[in-house]
Structure 1
Amino acid sequence: MTTGLGKSELTKYDRRMYAVMNRREGRPLYATAARRRALVCAHITLTAIGVSCWTAMVFAEWMWPVFVLLGTLLPWCIATGGINGATRGLLELRGRALDERQLRERDRVLARAHRLTSLLLLAVAVGVGFLGWLGDVRLEALVTPVLIGVLVPHWLMPLWVAGLTVRDEPDED
């Protein structure tokens, strides 16, 4: 761990989080690029299912989605942990626990995620505009579900981008 600060200047929390994010037990989940892509795709799918179920519970007042939501929670947490393990905590660790290369990588991931989220927002705005203009849809009914549907990818896009762009680690041989 070569950071700008000395190892002794890291807090107990920083050292513990660094150790957690660099555990190798989950390595089979993300050992290859194909597995990391599958893990990110699974995370995106589980997120979409969870957001859809939550939206159905709140706005349609159905109760069955709560069971689907609870069923997706554990796999979603495992997938999140797998992506964090693949990136070695790039987005979860404080800046003082990262070296210069990791800080540059985090900045690059955040910039790319910001661009992708901007494109997503543009596509959603155009889509909702067309629905209101061409379709017989009340836009007031769409505002909250659409905002929730855009907020979640905005929140998770850096994690997904980091999971997709992380490089393979060199073999230990």
Structure 2
Amino acid sequence: MAQQQMTSYDRRMHALMNRADAGSFRRSAARRRAVVCAHIALTAGAVAAWLATVVGESTWGVLVMFGLLVPWCVATGIINGTTRGLLELRPRALDERQRAERDRVRARAQQIMLWLLLAAVAGTGVAGFSGVEVKALVFQVMFCALVTHWLMPMWVAALSVRDEPADEPADGLA
């Protein structure tokens, strides 16, 4: 029934997110973990470069950000392909099982973010009590929390994808 309500945009995005190109990454949990770790490292590098540009007024950060942009986009595309667009497709392009999985992923990401925010508040509080100028830290911590909040569902979705069964032999013999 959901297929009947899909627009041409929904059909194109569904086809894009379900291409066979991501199959090699989709089949192995180790490969998915490696891509997620690479994406986290690329994100951390880009955030650090941006903060160095904004807070530290360093011009090299702009070059680093642009250098990390293409690999970050490739890793994001691989993650979206391994999750089959779970978080990118409109609800009408997903079946009931996928919508339930999307809700589980978002709930798990929210739980993780709760603990990360608690750690950020505690860390900033400890820094404030130890004499560090907290005003300088607040923007940086909040920006990192914003980026993490934005990307956490995608990371959780990629890490929670189940392995696909191996391809069956062509002649049907095992």
Q: What TM-score, normalized by structure 2, do the two folds share? A: 0.93
RMSD of the TM alignment (CA)? 1.0
Q: Describe how 1:57-72 pairs up with structure 2 within 5 A.
A: 57-72=53-68
After TM superposition, give the deviation of residue 143 of structure 1 in Å. Answer: 1.4
In structure 1, the gaps of 5 or more residues are: none
Say if 1:53 and 1:66, in contact at 8 Å, map to a contact too.
yes
TM alignment of 1:54-93, pairs within 5 A? 54-93=50-89
Is the Cα–Cα contact under 8 Å of residues 109 and 156 in structure 2 kept in the other structure? yes
Alignment of 1:1-173 (within 5 A): 4-5=1-2, 7-134=3-130, 136-173=131-168
Q: Distance in 1 between matches of 2:146 and 2:32?
A: 24
The amino acid that maps onto 1:31 is: R
Aligned identity (percent) is 56
Contact 1:53 1:65 in 2 (8 A): yes
Letter matched to residue 78 of structure 2: G
Q: Distance in 1 between matches of 2:70 and 2:26?
A: 18
Whole-angstrom distance in 2 between the partners of 1:105 and 1:28: 22
Partner of 2:172: none
Q: Shift of the alpha carbon at 1:11?
A: 0.6
Structure 2 gaps, min length 5:
169-174
Whether contact under 8 Å (1:87, 1:166) holds in the other structure is yes
| CA displacement at 1:139 relative to structure 2 | 1.0
Q: Which amino acid aligns with 1:169?
A: E
SS of the equivalent of 1:25 reads helix
Instruction: Tell me the TM-score normalized by structure 1.
Output: 0.94
Corresponding letter in the other structure for 1:102: Q
Alpha-carbon offset, residue 169 of structure 1: 1.4
